[in-house]
Amino acid sequence: MAAMEDKPLRGLAREAAERIKDATELGAIGPRSSDDGHVTRHTKFLAIPFSVMQGDESTCAYVTLSNVLVNIITSLANIKLSYPEKMKLYEILAGFPIRTDVDDMVRQISLIDFPKKEFTLIVLFFYFFDWLKSYDMKADYPRGAELLELTEDGSDFNKKIKELFGFLRLKTKRLGGPTFTASGWINKITTELAKTVGKLKWKKTAIRTRNSMFGSKAETFKATDFQRLCQEVIIPITNKGIKIVFTVRGDRGQHDVMLVGIEDAELLISNSWRARLDQCPMGDLPLIRLQNELRVEMWWAFQFTFYLPMPEGESRLDDLKPMYDLSTYEEFAHFMTAYSTVDLTMPPLDVSTLPLLKSDKIGGTRRKRNKSKRRNKKTVSRV
């Protein structure tokens, strides 16, 4: 490091140097210790950096689960982004922010104009997002109910999970409609991923941490309970590349964000309001502070939901329940500890070797938004 100190560093070079120094001093270099000379110890640099502008649309559940699935799939397939590639994706998304209201935009970027890897990640995001939105994969928590999740139409949310797990076999090659037209490229990606990722089976589970006005039998976690949960479950699971759906509650209702991981005793949260990650001190739990434009909003931790891929023959999670709370924490932690040892190693997908066609692009038709058709929420609002 002495040579680096002789000459002032700026911008990305300075940031890289600081991260090298941190990793060396703390001995905490992670599984991807370096990418093209850039140390990526921090979990926040391993997450796919989607820029999402949700605005006033009540679609955080679709955005968050899409983010979670894209991050899990790309981690399983070992689709790595080097530090320069991450910066390139930021640059692309700065001029092409991912709006959640797909009917009010033109998805007009082309594989002819952008790198294959970055283009692939954007296409995968919409591949999941469009399906989740069309199937209304949005959980609800009715007043005074047992530990269940329901969809807004009153049907059992967990039944829809089975349809999602079928979709994750990657057999669906294209979703209909004018807003998803990258059919050529998504065919290539899903066909390749189906050879490995598509053969996995999935489990979903959740742990509720707050007894607010919903889920009356759920015991509220105290500070020491959150410490155990973070150390025994969240850190080992996120270290495997598994991102988590984190549901918080506030004055405006419930809101889903993606929990990227925990580092330096801070929860790293990817929200659907902004591009940058929120960093929330673990010691503040159950309080969560999220940056919304120029103001900070206060929320309370309500539920952590895990989507867990595993080999077809894996049986250690056969008796895993879809929902836990503080009274059943020991059982939950037992299963999650077992899962942290499951081998998810599989061959990497090299996107650069896939053939390119001129028709491989994202396109769409611009439609005028009709605000009068927005859905009214029955029991609780989503932000």
- pLDDT digit string, tens, across residues 186-201: 888 888 999 999 999 9
Residue listed under structure tokens 């679709």: 62
3-state secondary structure at position 150: strand
Amino acid sitting at position 221: F
pLDDT exceeds 50 at position 368: no
- Residue spans of the domains in the chain: they are 11-41, 43-47+60-341
Predicted confidence at residue 381, as pLDDT, reads 61
Predicted confidence at residue 54, as pLDDT, reads 66
Give the confidence band of 31 by pLDDT, cuts at 50, 70, 90: very low
Predicted confidence at residue 23, as pLDDT, reads 38
pLDDT exceeds 90 at position 95: no
Which of the listed ranges 45-54, 73-82, 84-93 does the model predict with the highest average pLDDT?
A: 73-82
Under 8 Å between Cβ of 125 and 50: yes
pLDDT exceeds 50 at position 369: no
Cα first-last separation, the chain: 46
Predicted confidence at residue 215, as pLDDT, reads 47
Handedness of CA 96, 97, 99, 100 (dihedral sign): positive
Mean pLDDT check: name the lowest of 24-33, 45-54, 307-316: 24-33
DSSP state of 114: S
Predicted confidence at residue 134, as pLDDT, reads 84
Number of Cα atoms under 13 Å in the Cβ half of residue 50? 32
pLDDT exceeds 70 at position 127: yes
Element (H, E) at 290: strand 287-292
Average pLDDT over residues 13-20: 44
Predicted confidence at residue 340, as pLDDT, reads 94
Q: How many CB atoms lie within 10 A of CB 304?
A: 21
Predicted confidence at residue 102, as pLDDT, reads 54
3-state secondary structure at position 23: helix
With a pLDDT cut of 70, the percent of the chain lying above it is 66
pLDDT exceeds 80 at position 281: yes
216/5: higher pLDDT: 216
Average pLDDT over residues 102-123: 67
**Reported pTM:** 0.81
How far lies 342's CA from each of 232, 283, 335, 336, 339, in Å?
16, 29, 11, 10, 5
Looking at every residue in the chain, the average pLDDT score rounds to: 76
pLDDT exceeds 50 at position 330: yes
